[in-house]
Structure 1
């Protein structure tokens, strides 16, 4: 592993890795739901293998975060429940419907990992290698879902197929927007945690509490960021409505 440096850049790297870690936890939930709903045993077995890739990602990301001086946020994103709810609502019925609903979450996983792999050129070698492996896994997973849906009659060039893909993109961008706010919160949390560990008095007390209740402490920061995004988004929507009325 590369040596740890206590710098703001390190806090940003840890936030990037924690964002991927939470994404993999989101995926584990999504896979569990899809596997429960699918009737075709071969499809379930494929998803079981792919789910194993996500379990490996979780292990690798935990190790990398710790190796680079960070604290893993080993839980799903706050958006995870919304993703599952959309998948559950859209996936009732046939295997085709299950996979269509599942694909929206897979697209976000693939796209986020691919973007991270593109940024990874500036990251330590061990991180870069793991993220690129993860991105390759995600592309393989998504390609399988896409090919399987085509075999079940889903035509990407049909009006319905184009509409579904447009929905997948909107779904992914909405989740990305909220999770980006959470990631910024994680940068601040990680930087504050490292800074508090280097000072005495109240600062050291903060660091100790963060170590004792790491996930709760981090989620308080991330959750506050997500809540802020929701409030700001709501205010922006109302402002646009007032502007249109005016």
Structure 2
């Protein structure tokens, strides 16, 4: 029943149901949906029939086929479009306005498995930034490390979801979510058209650039804003500050003599 286990989970996530919502539609307990998806229990024949009817598929397909494999884009299509097409899971407020979900450091590892799961996204902290407007979907990621200095570790990067990766301009700072690297913040140099690769650069010159194949990429979010509790340190020594003050005093004396 391995196909049934993966197919129930795949169908639920594709439509965007939570486990509770699917259980309600099937008139069964929510805990049963979790048990089916984890392979801890097998659905009754009547439940399988109801699932097939709900998602408008044949019972044979539900039991014998791997439905997730049938809906994955071919590598050639991913390379041509610059992205793997899928439904983006979001949350909205009481006025049906999209929230900005925050992926903190402690949740970034789980994001690779939960980015398409409505229940996982629902559990993330969320907020709104009116100054970003309504043109796009935004998500926030807490970053770690010093590869993008002067943006410090612990800074929250707010990114706008990029649907077509081939449109990304060279040097654009982005959050890249990939199976190989996890969640990283880098500047992208776009090599999709020529080699189906993204070249990722750090602002800190101590870190070397590297390439990532687009088949490994799950999501890209173009950085549009950041939130940090660390203020940049002004590069002004006491000597430099004294020199600036002295120059200003000289300019003032010149102005007075001119009068």
**Same fold flag (TM > 0.5):** no
TM-score, reference length from structure 2 = 0.21
- Greater fraction helix: 1
Larger radius of gyration: 2
TM-score, reference length from structure 1 = 0.22
Greater RCO (Cα-Cα under 8 Å, separation 6 or more)? 1
